[in-house]
Amino acid sequence: MTDHAETGPSGTAAATDARGRVAELRAIREEALRGPSEAATAAQYAKGKRTARERIALLLDEGSFNEVGALRRHRATGFGLEAKRPYTDGVVTGWGLVHGRPVFVYAHDFRIFGGALGEAHAAKIHKIMDMAITAGAPLVSLNDGAGARIQEGVSALAGYGGIFQRNTRASGVIPQISVMLGPCAGGAAYSPALTDFVFMVRETAQMFITGPDVVQAVTGAQVSQNGLGGADVHAATSGVAHFAYDDEESCIEEVRFLLSLLPANNRENPPAAPTEDPADRRCESLVDLVPAEGNQPYDMRAVIEELVDDGEFLEVHERWAENIICALARLDGQVVGVVANQPQALAGVLDISASEKAARFVQMCDAFNIPILTLLDVPGFLPGVDQEHGGIIRHGAKLLYAYCNATVPRISVVLRKAYGGAYIVMDSQSIGADVTLAWPTNEIAVMGAEGAANVIFRRQIAAAEDPEGTRLRMVKEYKAELMHPYYAAERGLVDDVIEPAETRAVLVQAFAMLRTKHADLPVRKHGNPPQ
């Protein structure tokens, strides 16, 4: 005889009990979603900040968020923690979609323990980071926390160690983006520094290792939180922040735009996008944008705008090391990374900061299969005692190492001048550029004609009856013999001299040809780049 499910009174009781458990679960979930008191939420709003869930809603496509660990609570006792065990433990974690593509996210909830990190809080972040690495999808952190949770002692510090270890393991594997929407002090600041991009919101976000009180106690200097580690400081002075915005909405919208330009991981190519901008569009205005005279400044951004699809590009580190431009853009729908000297700032020379900025950008592009376009107009490295004592040799070598190590398609274009070691470092053919091009206005040489003539012909000039006239004649001869536009092409140092108006069409064709490029580095554990 076949047994049947129990339908008597005890079965009814079991069903009632199950419905009760479901109702209890719903209540718990509602509590977790609701968060702390209305007063805590009002205090967050009063600071000009949104809640963690509101920020996630801005980042992800509508209705796509899947939360992980919503019911997690800390297990610490003592120091008042046993009386307060809120769900989520002060961090919301999960995954969703950005432009239809998977992205993992965690967001500190400042309303709970000031967003401070404890054992359970860290475990949730570790979990979502591991999931992002395993799934091969970008990770975005929305930071708004007061550092380690003091009541949990060394357990909190160990939690940070786990985050740093995973940041490092994910480096070059998946894109990691840190969005600073509140305070980030002490050891917590090292996690954003390990990621690929750092966004900050003015006034509400600060990053520093030691706060203003400690700085004053140790050095006597008085400084505000924003003066010490605000968005503008890190975007323009320290170079810690790649982007700075006035409000959370525009900041997070730009994060979404950046994600649209990046691949999900290092095994994929960046997503292509349809464009109505013709691949063979002539750029007639380039002749007028770039003066023929090498000492005349111009805005390299206007050149980039003319070349790329629809004139749209995302500049990285826009306000730091302004003598070099690093940007992400598209050519014929395909993502490229652009590195370009900026003659409007320090005449476009390379210095310590510019070398570091460009080196990191080149490494990022190479890690994520983004082809690199280099636009040269560089008079050399910045001379000076401060630069030499600051290690310009070591820092310049970082950029050289990054280019030499890069295996993605690389194309360089000499717009105007390219002198000395700076020319070599800026992805010349001799360090592995796949295609090297030049405009008819190019001057590729060891140094400018004036300096070269003064060195080579100094005795003749000194002995001449008319030193100034002799010097000018020697300068003219040097230019005619060694700096004419076709000198480098005649010796195979550039592949072709092209009309400026043809640049976009030539670049599109060359990058299309290089799309199947495959290059292997020697087998090794890792290189030892200059630091």
The three state secondary structure string of 453-515 is HHHHCHHHHHHCCCHHHHHHHHHHHHHHHHCCCCHHHHCCCCCEECCHHHHHHHHHHHHHHHH
CA distance 440 to 407: 29
Instruction: For the chain, 531 residues long, give each residue's pLDDT as a single digit of tens.
Output: 445 444 555 667 777 777 777 877 777 777 666 767 788 889 999 999 999 999 999 999 999 999 998 878 777 665 556 557 788 788 999 999 999 999 999 999 988 877 778 888 889 999 999 999 999 999 999 999 877 776 677 877 888 899 999 999 999 999 999 999 999 988 889 999 999 999 999 999 999 988 888 888 999 999 999 999 999 999 999 999 999 999 999 999 999 999 999 999 999 999 999 999 999 999 999 999 999 888 899 999 999 999 999 999 999 999 999 999 999 999 999 999 999 999 999 999 999 999 999 999 999 999 999 999 999 999 999 999 999 999 999 999 999 999 999 999 999 999 999 988 999 999 999 999 999 999 998 888 876 666 666 777 777 877 787 878 877 777 777 777 766 778 888 888 899 999 999 999 999 999 999 999 998 888 888 889 898
In terms of Cα–Cα distance, which of 51, 60, 511 is closest to 259? 60
Residues forming beta bridges with residue 330, ordered by sequence position? 335
171 phi, psi to nearest 5 deg: -60, 125
**CA pair distance 104, 66, nearest whole angstrom:** 9
Interior CA angle at 488 toward 326 and 511, to 5°? 45
How does 168-200 read in b/e, with b if 16+ C-beta sit within 10 Å? eebbbebbbbbbbbbbbbbbbbebbebbbbbbb
Cα 277 to Cα 8: distance, rounded to the nearest angstrom: 73
How far, rounded to the nearest angstrom, does the alpha carbon of residue 510 sit from its chain's CA centroid?
Answer: 26
In the numeric block, the tokens 């600073």 are attached to: 180
- The vertex-529 CA angle with 186 and 175, nearest 5°, equals 55
SS3 state at 221: coil
Q: Rounded to an integer, what distance in angstroms lies between the CA atom of residue 369 and that of residue 263? A: 8
Backbone region of residue 214 per phi and psi (left: phi > 0; alpha: psi in -120 to 50; beta: other values): alpha
Cβ–Cβ < 8 Å for 197, 174: no
pLDDT of the residue at 330: 98
Q: Which residues contact 84 (CB under 8 A, 6 or more apart)?
A: none
* Phi, psi dihedral angles at 148 (to 5 degrees): -70, 145
Q: By three-state DSSP, how is residue 241 classified? A: coil
pLDDT of residue 11: 66
Q: What is the CA radius of gyration of the chain?
A: 28
The H or E element spanning position 105 is strand 101-108
- For 306, the 3-state DSSP assignment is helix
Beta carbons of 149 and 115 less than 8 angstroms apart? no
Q: How far is CA 254 from the centre of its chain?
A: 12
- If residue 179 lies in a helix (H) or strand (E), which one and from where to where? strand 176-180
DSSP state of 36: S
CB 170 within 8 Å of CB 176:
yes
Q: What is the pTM of this model?
A: 0.90
- Residue 416: phi and psi, rounded to 5, are -145, -105
Rounded Cα distance between 66 and 51, Å, is 17
CA–CA distance, 309 with 371 (Å, rounded to integer)? 15
* Residue 199 near residue 253 (C-beta atoms within 8 A): no
Distance, in Å, from the CA atom of 311 to the CA atom of 313, rounded to the nearest integer, reads 7
Cα–Cα distance measured from residue 361 to residue 341, given in angstroms and rounded to the nearest whole number: 14
191, 229, 114, 108 alpha-carbon torsion, rounded to 10°: -40
Q: Among 241, 137, 139, which Cα is nearest to 184's?
A: 241
Burial of 443 (0-12, 13-18, 19+ CB in 10 A): buried
Alpha carbon distance 355, 363 (integer Å): 12
DSSP designation for 150: G
Q: Which residues are catalytic?
A: 186-187, 421-422
Q: What is the rounded distance in angstroms from the CA atom of residue 338 to the CA atom of residue 10?
A: 72
